Amino acid sequence: MPTVLRVDGYRFYFYSHEPNEPPHVHVDRANASLKAWLKPVVLARNLGFRAHELNVILSLVREHETALSEAWHEHFGDRR
């Protein structure tokens, strides 16, 4: 479960057992977690973040989309 980015208390990471899904990132903070697709950046699942915080997180994913996508392909290879 490699952490690829930490910003403002948010941890951005991948699960190593999800290589057959399209590129995405998981984001945790405190007891909340979400999953966002990277191309395009879209919320896939939210567990505990409030609506206003979702906008902040998805903006961070967009801001770091290139680095997150590169980290995904480096970790999983070009399987997707």
How many other CB atoms sit within 10 Å of the CB of residue 10?
Answer: 19
Categorize the per-residue pLDDT at 19 as very low, low, confident or very high, splitting at 50, 70 and 90: low
pLDDT tens digits, residue range 49-79? 999 999 999 999 999 999 999 999 888 886 5
User: Domain limits of the chain?
Assistant: 3-76
Q: How many degrees, rounded to 5, is the angle at CA 40 between CA 69 and CA 79?
A: 45
pLDDT tens digits, residue range 3-17? 999 999 999 999 877
Question: pTM of this prediction?
Answer: 0.90
**Average pLDDT rounded to a whole number, residues 32-43:** 97
Find residue 41's DSSP bridge partners.
Answer: 38
Give the separation between CA 61 and CA 3, rounded to whole angstroms.
14
